[in-house]
Structure 1
Amino acid sequence: MQARQQKAPDKLKEYTLNGNEEISPGVHLISFDRDVDFIPGQVVKIGIDTKTPPRIYSICSGNHENEIKILFNIKDDGFLTPKLAAYIPGDKILVSKPYGSFLGSKAPAWCIATGTGIAPFYSMFQSGLFENKRLIHGVSYLNQFYFEDELDWALGENYVRCCSRESSCDVYPGRVTRYLAEQSHFPKQKYYICGKAIMVVEIRDLLIEKGVSFENIVAEIYF
């Protein structure tokens, strides 16, 4: 299982927030002007002052867009996200240069995410890197399928939604791990996983049991 290897930049630059949209209860999509290039899948550090450590977030926008967008959910016990969620256009944030080795490509792959872990895959999708890809997204509730209409229209059967606590037509009734456990065919290609550590380890072990080689599993852990 591969992980982030590129050294994180230390310097943060001030940016003006352009937008802050609550796209689902407790989940926000913020945006600010892009003045650097990035590879879809990379992350940035974000802070609101110089006294507290910044946090790491995946970029959630295409590499051709004029803005960088960040998707995050409010953590009630967190320091940054409750404050960041209350920011309005015109407020200042601190952002690092993009970095990281969880990088998208045009090669066939399965992309497996839970919750806001869909962010780097949406960046890859928006950047034109989703041909021959299958996206498997697991959530607890139906309103957590972020960007659902767009992804469903573009990907069709290659967009698999798994929901563990609510049901709907065309949605697998259960967790991502159960969906994967029921599959019998796993092509020889890359498998990208993005989500919380427990989920990443569980899916990594499941893929290995299914015959996927360790070298073909690429992971990004969300904290």
Structure 2
Amino acid sequence: MPKAEEYQKKAIQLNQETVTGNEEISPGVFLISYKRRHDFIPGQVVKIALDNTQPPRIYSICSGDHEEEIRVLFNIKEEGYLTPKLAAMIPGDQLLVSEPYGSFLGTNKPAWWIATGTGIAPFYSMFRSGQFENKTLIHGARHLNQFYFEDELDWSLDKNYVRCCSQEQSCDVFPGRVTDYLKTVKNFPDDQHYYLCGKALMVVEVRDLLIERGIPYENIIAEIYF
């Protein structure tokens, strides 16, 4: 779930939508869907609530811009109000959802996508929207079952798709965190954009690493999840 000051200040109307699907794609991680009624740019977000008693939370769209449904990827926060209830929803249940908005926008230009955990969501939206040419995707997770959509991404991106796992090992996965992998990269193109999406600590560490390696600050675009 992304958090940015501009999102928190933005007053947006919520409309009632009907859940069309809710799939647990990994333990405690769900992909919930509803019918798409508005166009959006890959990378944008929506606000979601169940009622008017609690403030809505912000989630990146996790579907292509041409698809009939909007999907949202989330993991259960046991101490949270919203995600345990979202996980229990079935088709036919009602959500309150905003129209898509936000400025973390994908393009067809060459770029690096760097994500941890469910921060893969906006990049998967960009991927599903056909924006994967000349992209390098680095995805970090603690466990091997947390590389969501990996078969599809691996098939299309091949060597430009790098998985980094900090707590388990596999022959085709880098052993360590995203920052550990990035430290092994010899050259970062300084004429491309670097999109960062994940926990605040990762975003700050990767941003600082890129700047130290000569990437202009304005070429680094971040979306912080919490």
TM range (shorter): over 0.9
The counterpart of 2:134, out of the listed 132, 135, 141, is: 132
Q: Partner residue of 2:197?
A: 194
Percent identical among aligned pairs is: 71
Point out where structure 1 has 5 or more consecutive residues left out of the alignment: none
The whole-number CA distance in structure 2 between the counterparts of 1:62 and 1:9 is 25
1:165–1:174 CA contact under 8 A, matched in 2: yes
- One-letter amino acid matched to 2:187: H
Unaligned runs of 5+ in 2: none
1:221 corresponds to: 224
Among 164, 167, 191, which residue is 1:165 paired with? Answer: 167
May I ask how many residue pairs the two structures share in their alignment? 221
Q: 1:51 aligns with which of 41, 50, 53?
A: 53
**Selected match of 1:142 from 141, 144, 150:** 144
Deviations 1:7-65 (A, max 9, x none): 73420000000000000000000000001000000000000001110000000000000
Contact 1:4 1:100 in 2 (8 A): no
CA displacement at 1:5 relative to structure 2: 4.7
Q: Give the match's secondary structure for 1:123.
A: helix
- Take 1:77 and 1:199, find their aligned partners in 2: how far apart are those partners? 23
Q: The residue matched to 2:95 in structure 1 has which SS?
A: strand
1:1-223 maps to which residues of 2 (within 5 A)?
5=6, 8-188=10-190, 189-223=192-226
Provide the C-alpha distance between the structure 2 equivalents of 1:97 and 1:28, rounded to a whole number of angstroms.
Answer: 21
User: 1:77: Cα distance to partner?
Assistant: 1.2
- SS class of match (2:46): strand
TM-score (norm 1): 0.97
The DSSP-based 3-state class of the residue aligned with 1:113 is strand
**8 Å contact from structure 1 (residues 9, 97) kept in 2:** no
Provide Cα deviations, 1:159-194, integer angstroms capped at 9, x if missing partner.
000000001111000000000011110002100000
Whichever residue aligns with residue 11 of structure 1, its letter is Q
Distance 2:212 2:81 in 1: 38
TM-score by length of 2: 0.95
Tell me which amino acid in the other structure corresponds to 2:126.
M
Q: 1:131 is paired with a residue of what secondary structure?
A: coil
1:139 deviation in Å? 0.1
SS of structure 1 residue aligned to 2:43: coil
Name the CA distance, whole Å, in 1 between partners of 2:216 and 2:188: 11
Give me the whole-angstrom Cα distance separating, in 2, the residues matched to 1:196 and 1:42.
17
Cα RMSD after superposing both structures: 1.1
Q: Distance in 1 between matches of 2:11 and 2:109?
A: 28
Query: Which aligned runs of 4 or more in structure 1 are off by greater than 3 angstroms?
Result: 3-9
- 1:72 and 1:221 map into 2 onto residues whose CA distance is 14
1:138 and 1:155 mapped to 2: Cα distance?
16
